[in-house]
Amino acid sequence: MENSKVKIGMDSKCVHAGIGEYEFGPVVPPIYQTSTFKFESTEHGGALFKGEKDGYIYTRMRNPTIEAMENAVASLEGGYKALGCASGMAAISTVFLSLLKNGEHIVCSKSVYGPTATLIATVLSNYDIKSTFVNSSDLDQLKNAVTDKTKVIYIETPGNPTLETTDLAEAAKIAKAANAKLVVDNTFMSPVLQRPLELGADIVLHSMTKFLNGHADVVAGIIVTKDKETYTHFRKVLNQLGGVIDPFNAFLVHRGIKTLGLRMKRHSESAMKLAEYLESHNKVKWVRYPGLTSFPQYEVAQKQHAAPGGMISFELKGGFKSGEAVMNSVKFCQLAVSLGGVETLIQHPASMTHLSMGKEARESAGITDGLVRLSVGIENVEDIIADLEQALEKA
């Protein structure tokens, strides 16, 4: 199916991507839960190491279960090949360490997952890699931040947790003119709703802990490359750094991907209803959701997304205290970090995911103290609304 010349729809792709032919004819790829693979002889082992023969040596280097999942994500994103990683952060650090050298420069969206910003500001800086953080939805800011040393433009869109949305086709033009690689964190949308490579990005990555797996039971990441040269270079670096996914987690993610098309539709439909409900609520100051006409980058979102996705952020009129009161009052929505699973999660970035950034960097990125983030699950939306209704009474 995967190699078939017949063009199939995105939901069909989610079900069939990456599935090959296996011994005994299973419809699901077997889990090769092994760290190593036997050689037929020293000649055979030598030929594998020299790349003269195709085959498996050691799971950190290659594993058939991991490869099946990687092929699925590469196919959904429209990429060449992908690299399964132990977490989203392993994917991000592998990309940075593969692309950047001392003396070089990275431009990054201000509204990114907290540890991504912290990694750039406190770890890459140790290797004399300089950085500039910009509101990347403002293309002039993005263009003006580029220097002759810029090698990477790193964009998370929609950004965590503000949902600030960057026009990727325009960002790709800026990167191309600067001879820099455009790297996009596509975690919030998944390839069902947004495909950055088609818009001109060079590299896409995900925390697969979120929508791709979708069931809140795996921590994993992935890097999708556009060409053989980049893939081969990244594979070598990942093999040295060692942050690879394991076969069982790869199997679980691959299983999760089968329902990705259905899940993203349901997340988007329910989130749209919730965003409208929240926007009309008298305790809510504002709502950020790409499907609302009030969304600051509504036109870009309409152009770039197949549907608005499952993430909402909103600010309560009562600020920090109200935020705390709502979160301590929810009964159906669960107070937890992470996102993109089938269950609805609610969290407070200033005290949780973006705590490590510090107040000043948070405020500059638009992450106000009263901001609440909602990851809308696939439950009956009436149950989520009823829970927020009773919790908002306490705000």
Q: Look at residues 191, 163, 205 and name the one whose alpha carbon lies nearest to residue 301.
A: 163
Nearest to 326 by CA among 281, 266, 288, 367: 281
Only one residue has tokens 């790193």, namely 154
* Least distance from ligand LCS to the Cβ atom of residue 86, Å: 8
Q: What is the dihedral of CA 258, 259, 260, 262, to 10 degrees?
A: 140
Render 274-314 in DSSP notation, one character per residue.
Answer: HHHHHHT-TTEEEEE-TTSTTSTTHHHHHHH-SS--SEEEE
Does residue 247 belong to the site contacting ligand LCS (CB under 6 A)?
no
Residue (349 or 370) nearer to ligand LCS, CB: 349
Q: Which is nearer to ligand LCS, 187 or 268 (CB)?
A: 187
Catalytic residue positions, numbered:
60, 113, 185, 210
* Stretch of residues binding ligand LCS (CB under 6 A), selected from 12-20, 65-73, 75-83, 86-94: 86-94
Is 180:108 a contact under the CB 8 Å cutoff?
no
3-state SS, residue 355: helix
Residue 221 in contact with ligand LCS, rule: CB under 6 A = yes
In whole angstroms, give the CA distance from residue 349 to residue 314. 11
Q: Applying CB under 6 A, which part among 7-15, 65-73, 84-92, 192-200 lies near ligand LCS?
A: 84-92
Q: What Å distances lie between residue 382 and 317, 334, 388, CA to CA?
A: 24, 16, 10
339 binding ligand LCS? (CB under 6 A): yes
* Of the residues 75, 150, 207, 225, which one makes contact with ligand LCS according to CB under 6 A: 207
Query: Which residue lies nearest ligand LCS, judged by its C-beta?
Result: 88
CA 270/CA 245 separation, integer angstroms: 32
User: Minimum Å distance from CB 336 to ligand LCS?
Assistant: 8
Choose between 89 and 152: whose C-beta lies nearer to ligand LCS. Answer: 89
Between 15 and 237, whose beta carbon lies closer to ligand LCS?
237
Determine if 297 is a binding residue for ligand LCS (CB under 6 A). no
CB contact set of 160 (below 8 Å; sequence gap of 6+): 111, 112, 113, 187, 188, 349, 353, 373
Q: Is 337 in the site for ligand LCS (CB under 6 A)?
A: yes
When asked if residue 160 is in the footprint of ligand LCS (CB under 6 A), the reply is: yes
Which residues of the shown chain bind ligand LCS in the complex (CB under 6 A)?
87-89, 113, 156, 160, 185, 187-188, 207, 209, 219, 221, 337-339, 353
